Each structure stands twice: as structure tokens, then as C-alpha cells.
Structure 1
């Protein structure tokens, strides 16, 4: 752990898979968009769920 950084601060700064999912849902074109569409996934709902998982208002 970096010197002078609390565990809470370190946890808050970690990139989580929910961040990646939310970013993929924000895309307008590309493989991720086509894959989600083929699976019948509502990108807006998935993005909202990802934001809720990591505590980002959205």
C-alpha cells in the first residue's frame, strides 16, 4: 500500500468491473454494443445497475 494512503482511499480509487461495464454501455458503436444487442441486453438498464453497484449516481 502506498505510504500515507488509507485502505478506504485505496478501495475508492480501484477500477472495478462495474466501471468497465458502464463504459461499454456508454458506447454508441462497436463490438461491445453489437454483443449486448445480440444478447438482448438493455444498455441503459445495465449501465444504471453498474453505477448502482459501485455507488455512482447516474
Structure 2
């Protein structure tokens, strides 16, 4: 390894949905990414809900 470190700047593009999100998974039924908010002890969905009858996004 060369030891070079690349520096990048990240931009937040969505509102925060969790204090400490872990274990992201894709839920094909709802068409959303789900994770668990470890500090709040509840699911933390991301993205809009899919309308009933609408095709799942890929």
C-alpha cells in the first residue's frame, strides 16, 4: 500500500431517519431500504412507500 489518503467531501441529500442506523436491507414489497435505529430500538425506513399495485423498483 502506498499510504496515500484520498479526501472527499460528502453532502447529505436526505433528512436524517435514524440516530444510529445499522443492518440496511432492501424490502422489495415496500420498495424501500430498511435498517434498525439502534439508539431508538425501531425500524428506520428510507424512501417513499410504494403505492399498492405499483411495480417494485429494481
Of structures 1 and 2, the one scoring higher in RCO (CA 8 A, sep 6+) is 1
Does the pair score TM above 0.5?
no
What TM bracket, shorter-length normalisation? under 0.3
Q: Considering only CA atoms, is the larger Rg found in Structure 1 or Structure 2?
A: 2
Higher strand share: 2
The TM-score, its normalising length taken from structure 2, stands at: 0.20
Higher helix share: 1
The TM-score, its normalising length taken from structure 1, stands at: 0.20
